[in-house]
Structure 1
Amino acid sequence: MRIRAAVATLGIAAGLAATAASFGAGQAAAFQPVIEPQNGVYLGVTLDHSETVALRNSPLPGMVDQLWRDRGLIDIDPRSLYASDDDVIYADFSDAIDEAAAFRYGSVNIGIVDPARLYEMNLPAFQGRNLLLVQFLD
């Protein structure tokens, strides 16, 4: 990855994490950063349900849809309407956030990752895709 693209990716992901955390900030906020470089997670954030709802209600998901199509991966909950038998995910970033927020305990994790280390395989489809959204529906 070129330096300019790496810096832009880091800046956008850090901005996403900070913005998402600020929407859910307050006494009950559960902002949980995750840093596990040995497992391929360089910087991540776990959002609880209320933070996921706040993120859904912000303009941010729609603004980053194109970035996610070009640079991101979505690990969707198997019960999602967007899951398919052919292992192709037919959802944008905003779709996955919206669906998780609609479930009573739905949440998401967002991070900067090395997909080859995280998923223990080096597929051509992973190249250049260092942003990850993991969706949980319960």
Structure 2
Amino acid sequence: MEFKIKIDDSKIFPKTYKIPSLLIQPYVENAIKHGLLHKKIDRKLWVTFSNAEEQNDVIVCTIEDNGIGRERSAEINRNRPDNHKSFASDAGKTRLELLNQDTSKQIGVDIIDMKEDRVPKGTKVILRIPFSHN
């Protein structure tokens, strides 16, 4: 499996900004467990950080895999005898709800099913994270 982390913008200094603990982890976990582990070859996962072009106080974290896609993964999990329920998905949703309480700067998330000619080509998660300075 190929794994890359890229800090895409010279304006992002990792020691300067705070990102909430374990915010990104559930999405990376899902990409690996549900997208890439079901694929035999050419498994890739990219995590990139950049500044939002339209907002200076927002970091954009993109988690992208070239796995089997959410639809196929759900189909596989429906057929499992243990009636699998994704902990990481629920944990991520709960974290977002808690972090977004009592704040005007909301963390946003978009989950995109990537397809080429209607064939699943992976999943992309885009997190828009308002940051606070140290």
TM-score category (smaller protein): 0.3 to 0.5
User: Based on CA coordinates, which of the two structures has the bigger radius of gyration?
Assistant: 2
TM-score by length of 2: 0.40
- If each structure's strand is expressed as a fraction of its own residues, which one has the higher value? 2
Give me the TM-score of the superposition, normalised by structure 1. 0.39
